[in-house]
Structure 1
Amino acid sequence: MHRQKLASAQLYLCTDSRKEKGDFANFIDAAYTGGVDIIQLRDKNIEAAEELACLEVLRAAAKRHGKLFSANDRADIARLSGAPVFHVGQKDLPVPAARQLLGTEPIIGLSTHSPAQVIAAMSTNALDYFCTGPIWATPTKPGRAPAGLELVRYATALLTETGSPRAWFAIGGIDHTTIEQVVEAGARRVVVVRAITEADDPSSAAKSLKSALPPLS
């Protein structure tokens, strides 16, 4: 069931715990209501107990909405929270090791930042999806050079050529002003952060972004 939901997912949101605003539960409900398919908790500034508590809130919201939620970086947290999705970066736990720890059921995703990493992701059997980016410079990844739209075009061409059904998402600086360019470059799935986390109306922001994505073929 989880992989069926991934197959139709187009809008993926990464958010912190919104500790300063204190509105995490209401925010994620609004995001799911607006059309977000997957929400990942990504917060480097909270302790493990706080992260597990937030993931429990996220798990309950995802269940109510029939959507997916994701843990980030730490396989122990992912396993304890029962997260159906686990995401890692290039310098985190290797995908085969994560699969060994988590078993066959959870979805595993990986960040990629170059054509070589996209190719490697395509050949990693233990992987379910990958993200390409950051397309534009973004404060959520300070110091990382943007990959540009060319990486989106590369991933699009490679998956078209190989006929691979593997899901992939464009990420990095995508918002209401740039999503059209990402779609024109070939992406049909996107990851966003500030476009929803900084919106006055997260539900409306999500709905607008979702409507800008063409249906999956």
Structure 2
Amino acid sequence: MPGGGVGRGRGQRVELLNAARLYLCTDSRADRGDLEEFLDAAYAGGVDIIQLRDKKISAAEEIAALLILKRVAARHGKLFAVNDRADIAALVGADVFHVGQDDLSPAQARELLGPDVIIGRSTHAPGQADEAIDNPEVDYFACGPVWETPTKPGRAAAGLGYLRYVADKKPAKPWFAIGGVNPETCPQVLDAGAHRIVVVRAITEATESRQAAQRLVAALAG
């Protein structure tokens, strides 16, 4: 079994999640061939969670990339996440499994993956945030896109007002702002009440990924 071996228990995963502030989504970087180097640099720069999300690769290629991610995450003592595919998450022993609104429900994911996996949910509107806050199977949720982004073509921006809505709810579980967040826009996100962010291009398109992560960590520190 590809993900064999003793993984982290839920307690350690939850502790790492609660401490997390910077979450990165990346593709497999197949066009660059530098996945392991990139992941090492991102974690070293201060990224707390990395999710592999790549719709262009086969299941076998995704598993191979995730096993690299798992190895690098363990080396840095950080979390790694699988997007959408519960079967692949089970095979690789994922720390975190993330679902969108049109994917498996959190309850279905929990039934398949068991009690130890951290489950996250994407939300785009107040009602979806309310559901995520109240759902006992959701361990964290993402709110956005704050600004329109080519990463999610066709999805309208949720705006800073959405972050203010969620912040006013004072949810006990961690939540992350996503969509167009970078060192320049991070102060607006913080002013709206978010303290955790998910980024894609701010690190994946940077010339120096470690320094890009460090700039985001500095921005989060205010």
TM score, norm. by length of structure 2: 0.94
Per-residue CA deviations over 1:74-132 (Å, capped at 9, x if unaligned) read 10010001011000000000110000100000000000000000001011001100000
Give, in whole Å, the separation in 1 of the partners of 2:29 and 2:149: 18
- In structure 1, the residue matched to 2:119 is 108
Indicate which of 179, 203, 209 corresponds to 1:196. 203
Contact 1:13 1:40 in 2 (8 A): yes
What 5-or-longer segments of structure 1 have no aligned partner? none
- Any conservation in 2 of the 1:188–1:214 contact (CA below 8 Å)? no
Q: Which residue type is aligned with residue 180 of structure 2?
A: G
1:19-54 Cα shifts (integer Å, max 9, x gaps): 111111100000000000000000000000000000
The partner residue of 1:36 within 24, 38, 47 is 47
User: So what's the TM-score if we normalise by structure 1?
Assistant: 0.96
Percent identity, aligned pairs only?
Answer: 57
- Does the 8 Å contact 1:136/1:172 carry over to 2? yes
Q: Does 1:2 align with 2:13?
A: yes
Partners of 2:115 and 2:150 in 1: how far apart?
34
Picking from 25, 34, 59, the partner of 1:23 is 34
Quote the RMSD (CA, aligned, Å). Answer: 0.9
Of residues 69, 82, 90, the one that matches 2:80 is: 69
Spell out, residue by residue over 1:123-180, the C-alpha distance to the aligned partner (whole angstroms, 9 max, x if none).
1001100000000000110000000001111110011xxxx42000000011122111
User: Any idea what SS the aligned residue of 2:220 has?
Assistant: coil
Shift >3 Å, 4+ stretches: none
Which letter does structure 2 place at the counterpart of 1:66?
Answer: G
Give, in whole Å, the separation in 1 of the partners of 2:74 and 2:218: 23
| Structure 1 position 207 matched with structure 2 position 214 | yes
Any gaps of 5 or more consecutive residues in structure 2? Answer: 1-11
Residue pairs, 1:112-123, within 5 angstroms = 112-123=123-134
Q: Provide the C-alpha distance between the structure 1 equivalents of 2:63 and 2:81, rounded to a whole number of angstroms.
A: 12
Counterpart mapping for 1:157-196 below 5 A: 157-159=168-170, 164-196=171-203
What are the Cα deviations for residues 181-205 of structure 1, in whole angstroms up to 9, with x where unaligned?
A: 1011111000000000000110001
Q: In 2, distance between residues paired with 1:212 and 1:28?
A: 21
1:214 Cα offset (Å): 3.5
Q: Which amino acid aligns with 2:75?
A: R
Alignment partner, residue 98 of structure 2: 87
Q: 2: distance between equivalents of 1:65 and 1:116?
A: 36
> Does structure 1 residue 138 correspond to structure 2 residue 145?
no
Specify the code of the residue in structure 1 equivalent to 2:17.
L
Q: Secondary structure, in 3 states, of the residue corresponding to 2:88?
A: helix
Aligned length: 211
- Aligned partner of 2:66 in structure 1 is 55
Q: Secondary structure at the match of 2:168?
A: helix
Structure 1 residue aligned with 2:5:
none
What is the SS of the residue equivalent to 1:212?
A: helix
Mapped partners of 2:219, 2:193: distance in 1: 13
